[in-house]
Structure 1
Amino acid sequence: MAQHIKIFILLAPNPLMLDFAGPVEVLRRANKIQTDFVFAVEYIAPHAEMMTSAGLPVSGLGKLPKYLPSKSYLMISGTTADILGSGDTPSRAQIEKDKQTIISWLRNIVTKDQTLLTICSGALLAAHAGLFDGYRCTTHHECLDELRSISPHIRIEENRLFTEDRNRFASAGITSGTDLMLHIVGKKLGLAAAADIAKHMVVFARRNGDAPQLSPFVQGRSHLHPTVHRIQDLIAADPTKDWDVQTLSREAHMSARHFSRLFNAQTGLSVPDYVNGLRIAIAENALRAQKVNIEHLVGDLGFGSSRHFRRAWQKHHQLSPTQWRDQQIGNA
């Protein structure tokens, strides 16, 4: 018989839809691909109906319960002051009142028997309730200063997609909430199942919590040049392919010299550095996940030689791949 895992989704005032919709889609897919576990989701909030960041109200929400079952999960969404369209946006006074209601409820209800997950600014509500005192924690990079001001007892981790400290998890928010839930599901169902879910959701690369909030997969993407974006999409779809300037310049319908200059000007990176940055990010995830053979990894990632791989690695890390992997395992 399948084991039921209760997961409460707490919608804070003006919740960001991506904060809770992405993680819940991970759970929905997890329930479909296996029969060992059933993730039973229940939505709770200060009101039966809440306006979301997209200007779309969600209704039928449950009340904040008087207790949470042992070994259940509680996920707190982030909030925003910006609502799409006018709609029936709650007043600032009502939003503040709802936040205080949630903080008080968290302080009185959540214990060490539950697993806490916060998405984006949801960490601020949990921090006000004292739930991150003595724990590692992160939040969206725009909320870090506010998080610091709440309590000196929180061990804040900057530039992280998510943190894990015993039964307290915190994500940087928005899309990183999906990464966090994939991590949670992976711990229950295994990395292969999590990877299958990520593939189904067209999440390009399942990211580890220690990855920076500004991932290599979005680095150099702030420009507006459509051809360079198209080439970057081509590279990102298969970073292990032998992408050289000549090949990519033909895809861009430009001379190699003109393309190389254009790519560098728009991204701030040379073509080899951009390609190798994506490959090193994949190598990091592989090294964290298991004790892979580094020589095999060199070939799998498309590096022509161990020397080529190590030269690219040294641009990102002072430690050797083996030393870096051992350090990651030691910190886990």
Structure 2
Amino acid sequence: MFVLAPRVHLLDLAGPAQVFGTATDQGHRYDLAYVADTPQVSSAQGLNLQATLDWPPLTRDDLVVVPGWRAPTLARSGRFGRPTLSRIAAHHAAGGMVASVCAGADALGRAGLLDGRRCTTHHDVQDELARRYPRAQVVRDVLYVEDGRVVTSAGIASGIDLALHLVAVRHGPATAARVARQMVVYARRNGEAQQASAMLRHRGHLSDAVHRVQDRIDAQFTETLTLADLAATAGVSERTVTRLFTAAIGQTPLRYQQLLRVERAEHLISQGATVEAAARAVGFSDARMLRRLRGRVTVVPDLRQ
């Protein structure tokens, strides 16, 4: 559900809404709703929007998003009534997640949700946000920050990154990558993270054939996939699929599959699995190959980003 303030930025709203709408088209249902303190909301770009005054019933599985608005200063803009701020706070208190784009972080601050948490906002108002909420830790120069079911993003287009992250958390990075591909955007994760999921890190290209092959590998990386299988998926020859794949992401299909296996194995090991159990879970016949690849495959850079 989106909570709209006067002079809302259209891209702050439309970017995340498009992500969730595209995820719905791919079988993950999101019922989008738009509420405000007035039935008509002016946008910063001059287009008037219709909203409802009545909040739908929410569960802890629902997400409340506050898009940003045109705000030379936070102190005199984006005014929400106390009932709206109380509903935002109550949703979080009930176990739900709240998110903001750009200046929308100020609404979360007014609702008391930034105290003791890491957060971010657009660079033009970062200093003011830090002054207004001294108990918050404002993180600069990142795309978004998640802390205790409160997710804040830097602004404008970073709302798309925030929404893709939330889709990845709920439905897996392969789904987020497919949504990003459908939207023809670069699928990124947290801007402060040194390592992003390989399923997202290697999607910054526009080769439809390679995306189809990646979709298959992402879905079946624990299985044995022959080059002939992948070539058939792309509708090209084995030599061509290798050439296209290497040109697009800088490594062969086999290398990419190994990267996904090792990345997943590292996660399982971090959760307490033995190397042997992790190796079997990701498709290796024994732990010897995993041991050889650990520390080598995981540091493969994506030179095209």
Question: Does the TM-score normalized on the shorter chain lie above 0.5?
Answer: yes
Number of residues of Structure 1 aligned to a counterpart in Structure 2: 216
- 1:100, distance to aligned residue in structure 2 (A): 6.2
2:123–2:141 contact (8 Å) kept in structure 1: yes
CA offset digits 1:256-314 (Å, max 9, x no partner): xxxxxxxxxxxxxxxxxxxxxx99xxxxxx89x755856446777469xxxxxxxxxxx
CA pair 99-171 structure 1, distance change in 2 beyond 3 A? farther
CA distance in 2: counterparts of 1:302 and 1:128, whole angstroms: 42
**Matching of residues 176-325 of structure 1 within 5 Å:** 176-203=158-185, 205-211=186-192, 291=266, 295-296=296-297, 301=302
- Percent identity between the aligned chains? 29
CA distance in 2: counterparts of 1:81 and 1:157, whole angstroms: 19
1:9–1:44 contact (8 Å) kept in structure 2: yes
* Superposition TM-score, scaled by structure 2 size: 0.61
Aligned to 1:129: 111
Pair 1:54 & 2:42 matched: no
CA distance in 1: counterparts of 2:58 and 2:299, whole angstroms: 48
1:70–1:113 contact (8 Å) kept in structure 2: yes
1:136–1:165 contact (8 Å) kept in structure 2: yes
**In the alignment, residue 206 of structure 1 is paired with which amino acid?**
A
**Residue in structure 1 matching 2:133, options 146, 151, 171:** 151
CA pair 194-166 structure 1, distance change in 2 beyond 3 A? same
CA offset digits 1:107-158 (Å, max 9, x no partner): 5665252201011000011112211112111111111111111222112211
- 1:99, distance to aligned residue in structure 2 (A): 6.2
Pair 1:32 & 2:32 matched: no
- 1:25, distance to aligned residue in structure 2 (A): 0.6
**Residue in structure 1 matching 2:5, options 6, 12, 17:** 12
Aligned to 1:283: none
2:120–2:144 contact (8 Å) kept in structure 1: yes
Structure 1 residue runs of 5 or longer lacking an equivalent are: 1-7, 83-91, 213-234, 239-277, 280-285, 304-332
CA pair 146-99 structure 1, distance change in 2 beyond 3 A? farther
- 1:105, distance to aligned residue in structure 2 (A): 5.1
CA pair 99-174 structure 1, distance change in 2 beyond 3 A? farther
CA pair 211-202 structure 1, distance change in 2 beyond 3 A? farther
2:58–2:91 contact (8 Å) kept in structure 1: yes
* Superposition TM-score, scaled by structure 1 size: 0.56
2:130–2:137 contact (8 Å) kept in structure 1: no
Pair 1:169 & 2:151 matched: yes
